[in-house]
Amino acid sequence: MIVSFRISKLHLAMFVFALIAAFLVATKISGGSSDSQTIEKEVKKIVTVYEIIKDNYVHDVKTEDIFNSAFKGMLNNLDPYSDYFSPDEYKEFQISMKGELTGVGMEITMENGMLKVIAPLEDSPAFRAGILAGDHILEIDGESTESFTLSDCFRRIIGKEGTEVTLTLLHQGEDNPKKITVIREKIKIKSVKYAHIIDKEENIGYIRITNFQEDTSESFVEEVKSLQGKGMKSLIIDLRFNGGGLMVPSVEISNMFIKDGLIVSTKGRAEDSREPYKAEPKNAVFDGLPLVILVNGYTASASEIFSGAIQDHKKGILVGSRTYGKGLVQTLVEIPGDKSAVKLTVSKYYTPSGKCLQRQKDKNYGLDPDELVELTTAEEVELLKSRSQEKPVDIKHDKQLAKAVEKLSLLK
């Protein structure tokens, strides 16, 4: 049973005053402005709605739950990526950014009001269950995702290790939804995978980056240097189905190939959201290494930062199909003394040539590859199914990879 408590009229008055004062200080609005009066009116309305809920709702509701929902509403209505994290949710989010999370293992997004899978993480429960990039998730445990926010969906999919979640999926090109039950696991994501010499005659190396997390740049350096020790002369980096992650590791890896100049810039309304990220010569440890990057329609966010920097600086060739087009940057702001946080979209990022990749209707978005090699939906499905650490990359059945090998072979 949920325990409720009531706030006295005096406490309510003090609460309203505190809220109004906080709004005025935060927005630096003078006391007599029309905006100030509007804020005062709306804050009073918030408290009135709160009282109605506490006094009349059929069940007792915790006060913090009511305000958590209000905070979430403020953020979720801005865009799919802005959000409010309660203390427990913020703790889970921090764990996920370190590469470990209990769930099913997939990158998701909201597209045209529908929950969509960018990609399942390799070797995850979602991957093994047959969830595919491009799938639409119609239901989570029997509840329609139609009215859910991206954060709502994320929180319903993660859960305790060993528990089940049932997803109703619609695969691309199919008409009939399928129900898939997945058992949640503690997922330790390995972001840099399957580094090996893919062509021994031409000494071409291959590395797959599945997402960008805190340890990605360190792991990447180790793997590339290991391949160089085996005689590697050129490199293919596979970013297909890489939904992004953290910006900083993607900038760090870009700098490994770019000696000077701009890598990416962010631009927003606030002064501190406008920042150029420039290469430092001392970090360009792989400058001059012939490079091809494999991309597709599920290469997004941090992956596009890296790919865009390499393409604009002409440090490598992009092979594949047009990338996803996520050009929004979020920042985390911790709420003092509460262990909660706000994740807010504060800027857009721009490639060195000044292009914003954010997808928009009827407009060019994402990155166009230097060599367009498109796969059918069926070919992409087969590519995902074939991916495993234990199973070697198959050049014969992957025409995008074959084109990458061809391009590097011609650079002799």
Which residues participate in catalysis according to the annotation?
301, 312, 326
Cα 84 from Cα 323, distance rounded (Å):
28
Closest CA to 239 of 310, 182, 152, 186: 310
| Strand pairing category for 185-188 and 100-103 | antiparallel
DSSP state of 156: H
**DSSP string computed for 242-259:** ---B-HHHHHHHHHHH--
Which residue type sits at 20?
I
Question: Is 358 exposed, middle or buried, given 0-12, 13-18 or 19+ CB atoms closer than 10 A?
Answer: middle
User: What is the Cβ-side half-sphere exposure of residue 14, based on CA atoms within 13 angstroms?
Assistant: 5
Cα 168 from Cα 164, distance rounded (Å):
13
* Bridge partners of residue 234, in order along the sequence: 204
Cα 396 from Cα 401, distance rounded (Å):
9
Which residue type sits at 209?
I
**DSSP string computed for 43-105:** HHHHHHHHHHHHHH-SS---HHHHHHHHHHHHHHTT-SS-EEE-HHHHHHHHHHHTTEEEE--
